[in-house]
Amino acid sequence: MAVQVSIGFQASPPLGLKVDQTDLDTLLGAIGSEGWHDLKTSDGQVRMNLGHVLWVRTENPEPKVGFGR
């Protein structure tokens, strides 16, 4: 199941992506280490420098009631 995430970096706008839960878990486990990380997304692959990642935000996959989405 794909999860919507936003990744914040030091000197650029956040990057919004859809990733599988297992790929997200791998990314979250790698944060805090040095070097590069390849993240498989629904649109392709993203290579990021882990030293520049400031935060990762996940969206709640449950449907919302009311107006909005």
Q: Convert the pLDDT of each residue in 14-66 to its tens digit.
A: 999 999 999 999 999 999 999 999 999 999 999 999 999 999 999 876 666 66
- Quote the CA–CA distance of 53 and 62 in Å, as a whole number: 26
Predicted confidence (pLDDT) at residue 69 exceeds the cutoff of 60: no
Other residues' Cβ atoms within 10 Å of the Cβ of residue 26: 15
pLDDT computed for residue 30 by the predictor: 96
pLDDT computed for residue 1 by the predictor: 79
The full set of domains in the chain, from first to last, is 2-58 (2.30.30)
- Quote the CA–CA distance of 47 and 67 in Å, as a whole number: 36
Whole-prediction pTM value?
A: 0.82
Other residues' Cβ atoms within 10 Å of the Cβ of residue 54: 11
Enumerate residues 6+ apart whose C-beta is below 8 A from 35. 49, 50, 51
